[in-house]
Amino acid sequence: MKLVRVQHGGVAQWGQLTDDTIHLMTGLGGARTGETLPLAQAHLLAPAEPTKIVCVGRNYLDHIRELGNDTGDLPAEPGIFLKGPNALAEPGGTVTYPSWSENFHFEGELALVIGRRARNLKADETLGAVLGYTCGLDLTARDRQKTDLQWFRAKAADRFCPLGPWLVTQFNPTDVRVQTRVNGETRQDGRTSHMIFDVVQILTYVTRFVTLEPGDVVLTGTPEGVGPLQPGDVVEVEVEGVGVLKTVIGEKAP
């Protein structure tokens, strides 16, 4: 099943996507209302309503190396940081190039959305706590990531986490292709089987310390190939079996 979140009638609504038709629902997990929308005419929103966005950094060895952080040993634990709900941006939207950065980077990722309250998950419980999977774009002000004490400004600024276009509920995240294209040119091309910590390990680790609520988002890390963006660039993150998340980089704010 594919679940979408749309702006319709002045409010955000959830729906089920069948072929190119959206069947609106009374709420997430609710019944169909009988009203439909053509996908081509729908105003899609990020398919999540999180209290927090949990992100895993440096989860692919080649990405660690390209950032110059290779110590020869794999990390013993996932590297976790947070974005707030303010960071969400809709699929197909425009993200303004930040006025306070000179080195704005793309990082395409597999993302997941939590479906039930989760604390101290055991390995065999983790995938059952996931509502669905989608494409995520972890936008990063790389220069501020290097200069600031914390990654708050570099990672968690407004609209620094485009998400979508929808959630796929029946999905095996073990070995799928994750690609990022900039203006049609492939810049990242990896597989989730190359992650240092897989989805099960990430969720068991995170829920030892933090309770994940329904709607929370988890980004699982990015493959090698990250790089700078320029105003006017079109970024596409494609996760095999999910879809394509498109984001336009707008002109730099004055």
Domain 46-250 falls in which CATH fold? Fumarylacetoacetate hydrolase; domain 2 (3.90.850)
What amino acid is encoded at 212 in this protein? L
For 36-53, what is the mean pLDDT?
98
For 104-119, what is the mean pLDDT?
98
Q: Of 55, 58, 80, 56, which is closest to residue 68 (Cα–Cα)? A: 58
* Tens-place pLDDT, residues 197-233: 999 999 999 999 999 999 999 999 999 999 999 999 9
Percentage of the residues of the chain whose pLDDT score is greater than 90 = 91
In terms of DSSP bridges, do strands 94-96 and 243-250 run parallel, antiparallel, or are they unpaired?
parallel
126 — pLDDT class (breaks 50, 70, 90): very high
**How would you label 184-211 residue by residue, b for 16+ Cβ within 10 Å and e otherwise?**
eeebbebebebbbbbbbbbbbbbbeeee
The confidence score (pLDDT) of residue 61 equals 78
* Tens-place pLDDT, residues 158-191: 999 999 999 999 999 999 999 999 999 999 999 9
pLDDT of residue 63 exceeding 90, the answer is no
Instruction: Compute the chain's Rg from CA coordinates.
Output: 17
85 — pLDDT class (breaks 50, 70, 90): very high
Q: How far apart are CA 50 and CA 216, in angstroms?
A: 4
Q: How far apart are CA 24 and CA 14, in angstroms?
A: 6
- DSSP-derived secondary structure letter, 159: T
pLDDT of residue 68 exceeding 80, the answer is no
Q: Which residues make up the CATH 2.30.30.370 domain(s) of the chain?
A: 1-45
Q: Which of 3-7, 27-31, 86-90, 93-97 has the lowest mean pLDDT?
A: 27-31
The confidence score (pLDDT) of residue 67 equals 67
Q: How far apart are CA 93 and CA 44, in angstroms?
A: 9
* Token representation of residue 233: 């660039």
Domain 1-45 falls in which CATH fold? SH3 type barrels. (2.30.30)
Q: Of 188, 190, 160, which is closest to residue 175 (Cα–Cα)? A: 190
Burial class (CB in 10 A: 0-12, 13-18, 19+), 230: exposed
Concatenated DSSP letters for 200-225? HHHHHHHHHHSPBPTT-EEE----S-
pTM for the whole structure: 0.95
